[in-house]
Chains A and B, each alone.
Chain A
Amino acid sequence: MALVEIKALSFLYPGAEAAALSNIDLTINEGEFVLIAGPSGCGKSTLLRRMKPALSAYGEVSGAVIFNGEPIEALDLRRQTAEIGFVMQDPEMQIATDKVWHELAFGLESLGTDQATMRVRVAEMANFFGIQKWFNSPVSELSGGQKQLLCLASVMVMQPKLLILDEPTSQLDPIAAADFFDTLHRINSELGTTIVITEHRVEGLFPLADKVVFMRNGGIYYSGSPRSCAELLEGDSELYSVLPTAMTLFARTRPESMKDFPAPLTVREGRQYLKAALSENGASFEKTAETGGKVRKATALDSGRKPVASKAGFDEKPVLSMREVWYRYERNSDDILKGASFDVRLGELVCIIGGNGAGKTTAIMTASGMYKPYRGKVLLEGKPIGKYSDGELFGKRVGVLLQNPILSFVHDSVREELEAVVNRNKLEPSKLDEIVSLMEIGSIIDRNPYDISGGELQRAAIAKLLLLEPSVLFLDEATKGMDAFFKEKFGVLLRRLTSRGTAIVLVSHDIEFCAEFADRIAMFFDGGVIADGTPKAVLSGNNFYTTVAARIANGILDGAVTASELIDKVKAAEGGIQIEQ
């Protein structure tokens, strides 16, 4: 039975020229898990909010949204609250109260549920989500992942029929996101709740979804089962960046003879496909892995896509070097950094990866001179970083961009923000234009920082730093919440900066991004660097902490780290074997 029927829905924001949604037809059945994907600004969020009238924007609407057999506008706030749950992006700001128990009870308090029922429901959900341990904790003590789980639980206590989630994991690290998806899967399969979710991080969601909907420019242009979409989207290169790696691999490399092979969604299925595809061409895959492996390794280095500047181009002498640095916040607290060392050379993009609490952010705060280490030293251009005054150091020599780029904006428009830096440092006005075109932010320069998307905001914030031409840029979690398209563009821009001689140190959870764009990856664990080298050297050996492509290829086609490398290799292998035959 259809729970939600959307019929010819169009929507126009007041004053906007283009429709935010145009002629949407979509049926969501009871108990279904629906994934809506698409680039930023394609209308995903607007569509989700049409399914929850309390959050719907004002504007011109045509068409209808039918919920459970009646027009959705007919639902009063009470029924909407109880039957349609909505979880948003930022867990920090969704939470209204100071204690976990209070947040859990919030919805039931609004509904005026009686005490006994409230108690049971809250207890049930605390159990289901494993919240008992932190039930009495203040919200401020929770991690980002726990906060988002709390937001989800605080909606689920009302036992909604429909659960809507708008990019719920965009602020979470990969482990927390995987946890969150697991919980969603349990809600869907054990409670039978209908789920509609939008997400950029589709890798973990594709295997869970019953239906995948792709949106572009306010319209739906694909809606169907996740497995069949590889078929339908063939040739549409824009979408490849949205699909899970295994599917991209499948869509790009499938031999003619394997037309009927089911599209792989997970790493496991991807590996099965890869083996099948390689053996399809006559050679057993063991053989290709052994004999062909070496040959391909050589070709990959020659012809493989390598966006990085050649190693020889670097200065040998590091511009910044951190030597066995120890740091803790308070005298009696635990050490966050335990003898961390790494070097940064001009023109280099160094990515710092590692789990939560490994000390990544603390490392860049210490390396940039924000925090003072209690042991070890940080040398900038050969001089201890503590010897520089704040004025000499920040801006001119190092630039630091913290996790949330909005924090660097204190003025009402991007232009004012940049001009403030120009005026304060008495720079040439032409400098501003140069940086604006370098970072490609001309189109948003007069907008309010709060009105632009995460990817653009990140670029604008970097532009502000670049005005003073620091030799080392530190970026914390810069790719968080960016969609595939913005990420690609961001990577290209970062490479443009390194080719001008800037050194960039980027903390990221996005291993795919690091693999594709970094010169070097430093992997942090327990306050120290445990691996440091080229992406290939660091990632291809790892079984778990590596890219999806490497996990698919591991032991079958060694040495492939990014999806495009893997695709090239498979193509080369297929080609090579065919020639052998």
Chain B
Amino acid sequence: MRDAFDTVNPIVAFVFFAFALIMPMLVMHPVLLGISLVCALIWLFMLRGRKAIGYILKFVLPIMLLTAILNPLFNHAGITTLFYLRHNPVTLESIVYGASSAAMLASVVLWFACFNQIFTSDKIVYLLGRFAPSISLVVSMALRFVPLFSRQAKRISYAQRGAGMGTGGGSVIKRARSGLSILSSLITWGLETSVTTADSMRARGYGLHPRRSFANYRFDGRDALIGGLLALGMLCSALASGFKLISIRFFPSFKINEVTPLFIAFCAIYAITLLIPVIMNSIEAYRWHLSRSKL
């Protein structure tokens, strides 16, 4: 299924990801980290389905465990000593800090996994095109020529093999030498053929100023709405951090603000902001369900 957030204007999407990625790194508040982690998890399951489980088990959990275990072993700061391990104190503060770091890393990794699903090369090219059209073109060309080159290398190696000059067999030195000759042939081919590419680009006016990138995406009402919500969430976060609502101290002793109604309100806003993609998907699914049941 296509994700609802996939069709959001890349600029808005990019701001969303920037917010989702940066917040856990700046504010290591356990509650907020928990919210971030849960939101990212829900969305990742929506995006990748069952495949997300494997990804989490193989990649995210080991990172979490490693961070959570290693921190108390090596970080001995903090005043509440729980026990001694080989004459080294293991403190409550460092355990909490380790767990928070683990949650922070995990949520960053999960948000990145979502980012990878949503941010295709087209969106990157579009984003760059808004600000630096020439860089955007270079990225697009690189995306074209890297696979082209690897395919060409394969063809050259087949061609050499077919002429009895293959890389297979022979000593390491012999193989390395024929591998090098393939590389040199590839480079020559690249240089020679890039003349054609350059000609074709020049024939289509490359080098004229100013260059303007074609916008493959529009900015519509929905993007404005999402952008507005996002801006609101970001503003609240800035205020919350300005008024020390979400500040936290780990060392020497763990200190966290009391749970006030204001704090709960902020948590709700934070969660809603991070759940934008999930909410969009749910609304869309519900609408489809409705329209189908009408039939």
Contact = CB atoms under 8 A, between A and B. Distances in A.
Contacts of A94: 196-197, 200
A441 interface: no
A400 B214 contact: no
Contacts of B212: 109, 112-115, 118
A80 to B, nearest CB: 8
B193 interface: yes
A404 B155 contact: yes
- Indicate the size class of the contact surface on chain A: 35 or more
A85 B209 CA distance: 19
B201 A390 contact: no
A59 B141 CA distance: 31
A465 B184 CA distance: 20
A98 B143 contact: yes
A368 B199 CA distance: 38
Interface string A380-423: 00000000011100111011111010111111000000001100
Contacts, number: 186
Interface in A108-135: 108-115, 118-119, 122
A414 to B, nearest CB: 13
B199 to A, nearest CB: 6
B58 interface: no
A77 B207 CA distance: 9
A96 interface: yes
Contact of B166 (A390, A425, A465): A390
Interface in B147-200: 147-148, 152, 155-156, 158-166, 168-169, 181-182, 184-185, 188-189, 192-194, 196-197, 199-200
A370 B169 contact: no
A168 B226 CA distance: 47
Given A54-B202, A77-B208, A140-B148, A407 B159 contact: yes
A18 to B, nearest CB: 23
A450 B192 contact: yes
Contacts of A155: 203-204
A109 B166 CA distance: 44
Given A55-B202, A55-B203, A408-B159, A390 B181 contact: no
27 contacts: A54-B202, A54-B203, A55-B199, A77-B205, A78-B205, A78-B208, A94-B197, A95-B200, A96-B140, A96-B200, A97-B144, A102-B214, A102-B216, A105-B214, A106-B201, A109-B213, A110-B204, A111-B208, A113-B212, A114-B212, A139-B144, A140-B147, A154-B204, A394-B161, A394-B164, A408-B160, A470-B164
Interface of A: 52, 54-55, 77-78, 80-82, 85-86, 88, 90, 92-99, 101-102, 105-115, 118-119, 122, 136, 139-140, 151, 154-155, 158, 368, 370, 389-391, 394-396, 398-402, 404, 406-411, 420-421, 424-425, 450, 464-465, 468, 470, 474
Interface of B: 121-122, 125, 133, 137, 140-141, 143-144, 147-148, 152, 155-156, 158-166, 168-169, 181-182, 184-185, 188-189, 192-194, 196-197, 199-216
